[in-house]
Amino acid sequence: MGSSMGRKNPMRNAVLVNGVILNGPITDSKAGEKFVEDACKIIMEEVIQKAADVTEKVCEWHPPEKLKKLLDLEMRDTGEPHQRLLQLCQDIIRYSVKTNHPRFFNQLYAGIDYYSLVARFITEALNPSVYTYEVSPVFLLVEEAVLKRMIEFIGWKEGDGIFNPGGSVSNMYAMNLARYKYCPDIKEKGLSGLPRLVLFTSEECHYSMNKAASFLGIGTQNVYFITTDERGKMIPEELEKQVQRARKEGAAPFLVCATAGTTVLGAFDPLDKIADICEKHGLWLHVDASWGGSALMSRKHRKLLHGIHRADSVAWNPHKMLMAGIQCCALLVKDNSDLLKKCYSAKASYLFQQDKFYDVSYDTGDKSIQCSRRPDAFKFWMTWKALGTTGLEERVNRALALARYLVDEIKKREGFQLLLEPEYTNICFWYIPSSLRKMEEGPEFWEKLHQVAPVIKERMMKKGSMMLGYQPHRGKVNFFRQVVISPQVSREDMDFLLDEIDLLGRDL
């Protein structure tokens, strides 16, 4: 009976109900364990051991219709045998983008962290859900410990927080929390009949602000976007004007969402000055530091977030620069009067019984919009344990130093043009093929330049040599955005990046 120790022969005293034999387990544990073992070998060889290898392809590109034919996606009546399933695993891996490749620069996450990866494997094997201490004792304590340290790094004396599935969701949490603080009745009565609630954020904010405003019933028209300066930072004087405008309109301003590390330009809003305005007007200050929060780990670079300790709430995603694995996102709240719980609780009596035999204040599930919730703090904790605070700091410092190196190289090289001096590790630049280099910067030039990045992107994808994002942005035609994150990345990769763009695009 393999690992089903302690089981009796299932056929002794067989019980049959509705045609089903109920004795003994029906799964073949031995076969299952063998499959896990064999698959782990494939994962080790095909993903983990190749992760740091620049000679591997970042992706093996196929368009959707072709890829559907290459993969056997159909789910049939009968199951597939062991070897066939292993082949499927191979195929899944083969045709997937290698986000841990040293030359995957396409998003705000990249690279492989061996320690968080182990935590993630443990999580999957244990399959916990963090709502009550009785089913997740370890992971709730880990979450508490991690939140406490993150709160220290923000500079609060105390606070509260919760991990949740994404910075977008963190921003929603904050928006709802600010609304609850503004008017607790809304939880029960809703927004109907109330004056327009208005929130303020910069033009460069993450698109989740609009998603949140619409989801929460506030409406996207009630997100007032504040003009930014040429580096993408919110202009405090413009914020002041907009708050006054909203007041004059008879609306109810309740929240400012500043951004620490914008998605495209990597800009940091001037938090201290924004905090002054929030204080003056009695507005909740939320800082979306999903991307930039990790700079808090660096004594050298934490000044980018100067004033963050004055925020009422902060969103910070260790899955980005600190490589905790998707997703690992905390919403942190300065309030320590159980505001999170008051705002979110629904007091389900089947889950949060009050007559339990332990201290039920550890049952944190009622702070969440979710019921089942993954123990995302754990993967960050494991990396922190393995590297120490100084190791995390070193990662941040190195990423910023590499970004600086790339900026200097871009300035040196013909055909590359920086959009702006970066504050963080988002390096935005155009590649100008030689055919355009002598052209006047008029409408025709920009129109032609706009078409360059997509073509180079297509070529790099089909070659599989690297992945790099591009976008148009606020009147600027398509430009590349290089984001430096992974400690597997070196200056050689920065050089490669520029060489490769030139190689792929010089004929354009």
Interacting residues with a copy of itself between 118 and 137 (CB under 8 A): 118, 120-122, 124-129, 133-137
Pick the binder of a copy of itself from 355, 414, 440, 507 (CB under 8 A). 355
Instruction: Mark the segment that binds a copy of itself (CB under 8 A) among 8-16, 275-283, 413-421, 439-447.
Output: 8-16
Please name the residue that has the structure tokens 């929460």. 216
From 230-238, 272-280, 399-407, 432-440, give the range in contact with a copy of itself by CB under 8 A: 399-407
Question: Strand 416-418 relative to strand 329-333: parallel, antiparallel, unpaired?
Answer: unpaired
Binding of a copy of itself at residue 362 (CB under 8 A)?
Answer: yes
Q: Which is nearer to a copy of itself, 72 or 237 (CB)?
A: 72
The least distance separating a copy of itself from the CB of residue 80, rounded to whole angstroms, comes to 5
Q: Considering only 76-84, 239-247, 437-445, 500-508, which stretch makes contact with a copy of itself by CB under 8 A? A: 76-84
Nearest to 295 by CA among 378, 208, 398: 398
Q: Segment near a copy of itself (CB under 8 A), from 229-237, 276-284, 358-366, 438-446?
A: 358-366
Q: Which two tokens stand for residue 362?
A: 């550890």
Contact 320, 290 (CB under 8 A): yes
Residue nearer to a copy of itself on the CB measure, 167 or 307? 167
Q: What is the DSSP string of 166-224?
A: -HHHHHHHHHHHHHHHH-TTHHHH-STTSPPEEEEEETTS-THHHHHHHHTTS-GGGEE
By beta-carbon proximity to a copy of itself, the closer residue of 35 and 445 is 35
Q: How far is the CB of 259 from a copy of itself (least distance, A)?
A: 14
Q: Which of 147, 154, 174, 197 binds a copy of itself (CB under 8 A)?
A: 197
Among positions 245, 280, 303, 385, the unique one binding a copy of itself when judged by CB under 8 A = 385
Given 237, 279, 371, 506, the residue binding a copy of itself (CB under 8 A):
371
Number of residues interacting with a copy of itself: please give it, by CB under 8 A: 197
Of the candidates 60, 54, 142, the residue with the CA atom closest to the CA atom of residue 100: 54
DSSP string, 119-178: HHHHHHHH---TT-TTT-HHHHHHHHHHHHHHHHHHT-SS-EEEEES-HHHHHHHHHHHH
Among 83, 188, 248, 475, binds a copy of itself (CB under 8 A): 188
CB–CB of 332/174 below 8 Å? Answer: no
Cα–Cα nearest to 254, from 307, 201, 333, 324? 201
Instruction: Judge whether 224 and 200 are in contact, CB under 8 Å.
Output: yes
Residue 206, Cβ neighbours under 10 Å: how many? 23
- Give the C-alpha separation, 434 to 415, whole Å: 7
Does 11 contact a copy of itself by CB under 8 A?
A: no
The residue range among 99-107, 308-316, 430-438, 440-448 that interacts with a copy of itself, by the rule CB under 8 A, is 99-107
The interface region with a copy of itself, picked from 239-247, 376-384, 413-421, 431-439 by CB under 8 A, is: 376-384
Output the smallest distance, CB 438 to a copy of itself, in A: 25
8 A C-beta contact, residue 377 and residue 163: yes
When binding is defined by CB under 8 A, the residue of 103, 286, 302, 319 that contacts a copy of itself is 319
Residues 447-476 touching a copy of itself, rule: CB under 8 A, are 451, 454, 457-458, 461, 467, 469-473
- Does 166 bind a copy of itself (CB under 8 A)? Our answer is yes
Segment interacting with a copy of itself, rule: CB under 8 A, options 277-285, 305-313, 367-375, 430-438: 367-375
Near a copy of itself by CB under 8 A: residue from 346, 411, 444, 506: 346
Say how far apart CA 346 and CA 342 lie, in whole Å: 9
> Binding of a copy of itself at residue 87 (CB under 8 A)?
no
CA distance 240 to 256: 11
Residue 216 engages a copy of itself in binding (rule: CB under 8 A): yes
Q: Of 286 and 398, which CB lies nearer to a copy of itself in the complex structure?
A: 398
Q: Which amino acid is at 404?
A: R
Among 487, 497, 505, 508, binds a copy of itself (CB under 8 A): 487
158 binds a copy of itself (CB under 8 A): no
Radius of gyration, alpha carbons of the chain: 26
Cα(111)–Cα(322) distance, integer angstroms: 10
Burial of 422 (0-12, 13-18, 19+ CB in 10 A): buried
Q: Does 33 bind a copy of itself (CB under 8 A)?
A: yes
Nearer residue to a copy of itself within complex by CB, 155 or 276: 155
Pairing of strands 197-202, 223-226: parallel
Nearest distance from C-beta of residue 408 to a copy of itself, angstroms: 8
The yes or no reply on residue 424 touching a copy of itself (CB under 8 A) is no
Which residues in 253-292 contact a copy of itself (CB under 8 A)?
A: 263-264
Cα(117)–Cα(324) distance, integer angstroms: 8
| 96: contact with a copy of itself by CB under 8 A | yes
Distances (CA, A) of 165 to 54, 162, 374, 375: 31, 10, 8, 10
* Residue 287: φ, ψ to 5°: -115, 115
- The answer to whether the CB of 147 falls within 8 A of the CB of 170 is no
